[in-house]
Amino acid sequence: MVEQMVQQTTKAPIGAYVCLLKGCSRRKALAEGKQVHALIVQSVLDSNILLANTLVHMYSKCGSVLDAHKVFSNMPQHNVYSWTAIISAYADSGQAEEAIKLFQQMQETGLAPDKVVFVVVLKACARLAALEQGKQLHSDIIRRGFQSDVIVGSTLVDMYSKCGCTEDARELFNNMSERDVVSWTAMIAGYAQNGLSKEAFALYEQMKQEGVQPNNVTLSTLVDMYAKCGCTEDARELFNNMSERDVVSWSAMIAGYAQNGLGKDSLALYEQMKQEGVQPDNVTFVLLLQACASLAALEQGKQLHSDIIKRGFQSDVIVGSTLVDMYSKCGCTEDARELFNNMSERNVVSWTAMIAGYAQNGLGKEALALFDQMQREGTKPNEVTYICVLSACAQSRLVDEGRHVFDSMYKNHGVTPTMEHYACMVDLLGRAGCLADAELFIDKMPIQPGSVVWMSLLGAARNHGNVEIGRRAFDRVMKLEPKNAAPYVLLSNIYAAAGRKDELAKIRNEMKDAGVKKMPGCSWIEVDNQVHAFVVGEATHPQSKEILAELDRLVGLMKEAGYIPDLSFVLDDVEDKEKENALCRHSVKLAVAFGLIKTPPGTPIRIKKNLWVCGDCHNATKIISKIVGREIIVMDANRSHHFKDGFCFCGDYW
DNA sequence: ATAGGGTTAG
């Protein structure tokens, strides 16, 4: 077909080829572009500088920097457009350092840069947050008199913002001789990216006052900003009022829900998006997978996975890593691993996601093995990798292995332990019952221990019923984070388990006086592609009556099997009978009962919980798994619990 | 040629 088209236009072969290549660029049709390239070579037109430049451009747009570079280096001569095309190829593919290097090479050849090449190199600097180079470019731009160009100006604003220099960006913005909607939006986005939402809103108001119409890019920026502030309702209102919504606008709103714990709303919005005929892209899928992961919504996650394959996004490394994460967070480490093995490209995040998957599911040995493999295959672990490896060791009681990893992280990969790593070590030692070692470890820390470290110790004290250490750790957390409810709950658990009623009452009052509220426990379960949420103590689900009846029936059977409700997990000072009732309304139990009613016998039940699963729910679920002959998987805020035949794979170590 | 949405942990 390509040949036919060319033959029909033999009168202007070069122009025709340019047209064809531009079409390929637009459609990102690499294979077709290569065909056209072959024809150009056949017609001995490949030394034509215009065609060669267009080829470089085409390969760049189709994502093949390698081919772009080949064409570029085979060209008999380069003009400024050739350089622009190859620099932009590297900048767009994320190889910003290479782009900057090429720009320097270009200047060495004596060619004078034009506006466009400055824009392209500035983009590379923004990507790298290479402020010094950016400033150098800025002065070159002034020297050549390009500073009054509105595109160059907007790009400079963007570069300074992405380097974290919002004040420089703003000064430049104020001095721009001409400002269009893009300039305003770049400055608003600059504030948003640097967490200055007040300034961003103020500038947005000013923009409207000066009569500049915000477009859908401006509004999507604001939707994202509202969402990042946690104001999803404001974001939604703005989103609803947008006249034009493209895939980015929808994704920004989907992200807002997914990243604020409202995964259900993300998935609902996706349905609406499809109805309105907007096509999701790779980024949309990443966000939706995050929503599924946060809900452990495996069925919908699998559906998305097949949509991803259908639309050809499965080779995107970020999509792949997010899929690994989604399967892991649904408790399916084997599926995650198979996917991981088949990924066409893996980066440090992909490896880390898989290691984290093993860690979350209590498979410490597998995590360590993968960590070894990763290094053998030449991927350098980063600090997050180490957090995951250490937490895998902590979850699986691999104390010596964890110590060894910690001791060698700087030596092996130059990763300096941060607060999080120290907290992991305290967790590792504390969980294993070495509370004294953990305290000693904190004493020897070269940095001031932060609240995460003390929280780890407090958690360990809770697990091992150590009142004194628990109290000490609690006091340290309070000094750093007086408004956090978690330490109050942990210390209350310690007092309750130790039967220290007076101290329990006292801490409950202190908590009340401090105006600190415990986050209510909430569990989710997906049934028939629909996620159902259960909040502790609430009977708001339409089928609450049946759920409570089922729980009643189960508790009877459980007691026959030896279940004794652990009333120490009810912190309110009420009668024992009432405590037992309260235990029965814990969200995990409600979700389990619902799952039992709504799914066929024998099928596994998968539940997601926002906090840690409580000891009584853990014990109860073990017994239920045996009585009803079902596998029950509870993904809590920390790790998974896989119940089967009366046991949990965590071995009660969590 | 310029502005907006994305991956691992906690």
pLDDT digits (tens, 9 = 90+) for A116-137: 999 999 999 999 999 999 999 9
Task: Report CA(A472)–C1'(B6) in Å, whole number.
Answer: 41
Q: Which nucleotides of B are covered by protein (CB under 7 A)?
A: 1-10
Task: Report CA(A420)–C1'(B10) in Å, whole number.
Answer: 8
Q: What is the predicted pLDDT for the residue at A27? A: 83
Task: Report CA(A346)–C1'(B9) in Å, whole number.
Answer: 18
Tell me which protein residue sits closest to nucleotide B9, measuring alpha carbon to C1'.
A384
Task: Report CA(A6)–C1'(B1) in Å, whole number.
Answer: 29
Tell me which protein residue sits closest to nucleotide B7, measuring alpha carbon to C1'.
A318
Decide if pLDDT at A375 tops 80. Answer: yes
Residue A77's Cβ-side half-sphere holds a number of Cα atoms within 13 Å equal to 5
* Closest nucleotide C1' to the C-alpha of A391: B9
Decide if pLDDT at A9 tops 80. Answer: no
Sign of CA dihedral A482, A484, A485, A489: negative
DSSP state of A569: G
Q: What is the predicted pLDDT for the residue at A29? A: 86
Instruction: Measure Cα distances from A585 to A377, A409, A531, A598 in Å.
Output: 49, 45, 19, 18
Task: Report CA(A177)–C1'(B5) in Å, whole number.
Answer: 30
Q: What is the predicted pLDDT for the residue at A37? A: 94
Q: What whole-number percentage of chain A has pLDDT above 90?
A: 90
Tell me which protein residue sits closest to nucleotide B2, measuring alpha carbon to C1'.
A151
Decide if pLDDT at A2 tops 60. Answer: no
Tell me which protein residue sits closest to nucleotide B5, measuring alpha carbon to C1'.
A252
Task: Report CA(A394)–C1'(B6) in Å, whole number.
Answer: 30
Token pair for A312: 């050809």
Mean pLDDT (whole number) for A84-104: 93
Q: What is the predicted pLDDT for the residue at A311? A: 95
The CA distance from A423 to A406, in Å, is 11
Strands A640-644, A632-635: pairing kind:
antiparallel
* Closest nucleotide C1' to the C-alpha of A384: B9
* Closest nucleotide C1' to the C-alpha of A214: B3
Task: Report CA(A32)–C1'(B5) in Å, whole number.
Answer: 30
Q: What is the predicted pLDDT for the residue at A5? A: 55
DSSP state of A571: -
Q: What is the predicted pLDDT for the residue at A11? A: 47
Decide if pLDDT at A55 tops 60. Answer: yes
What pLDDT, in 10s, does the model give residues A507-522? 999 999 999 998 999 9
A212, A184 in Cβ contact below 8 A?
yes
> What pTM value is reported for the model?
0.93
Mean pLDDT (whole number) for A198-226: 97
Mean pLDDT (whole number) for A181-196: 97
The CA distance from A315 to A282, in Å, is 10
* Phi, psi (deg, nearest 5) at residue A75: -70, 140
* Closest nucleotide C1' to the C-alpha of A152: B2
Gyration radius of chain A over CA positions: 29
What pLDDT, in 10s, does the model give residues A547-596? 999 999 999 999 999 999 998 888 777 888 888 899 999 999 999 999 99
Task: Report CA(A282)–C1'(B1) in Å, whole number.
Answer: 25
Mean pLDDT (whole number) for A235-263: 97
* Closest nucleotide C1' to the C-alpha of A182: B3
Classified as helix, coil or strand, A75 is: coil
A248, A189 in Cβ contact below 8 A?
no
As a whole number, the mean pLDDT across chain A is: 94
* Closest nucleotide C1' to the C-alpha of A349: B8
Classified as helix, coil or strand, A535 is: strand
Task: Report CA(A639)–C1'(B10) in Å, whole number.
Answer: 13
Tell me which protein residue sits closest to nucleotide B10, measuring alpha carbon to C1'.
A420
Task: Report CA(A317)–C1'(B4) in Å, whole number.
Answer: 22
Q: What whole-number percentage of chain A has pLDDT above 70?
A: 98
Decide if pLDDT at A8 tops 80. Answer: no
What pLDDT, in 10s, does the model give residues A73-85? 999 999 999 999 9
Classified as helix, coil or strand, A525 is: strand
* Closest nucleotide C1' to the C-alpha of A162: B3
What pLDDT, in 10s, does the model give residues A420-465? 999 999 999 999 999 999 999 999 999 999 999 999 999 999 999 9
The CA distance from A136 to A439, in Å, is 51
Q: What is the predicted pLDDT for the residue at A1? A: 54
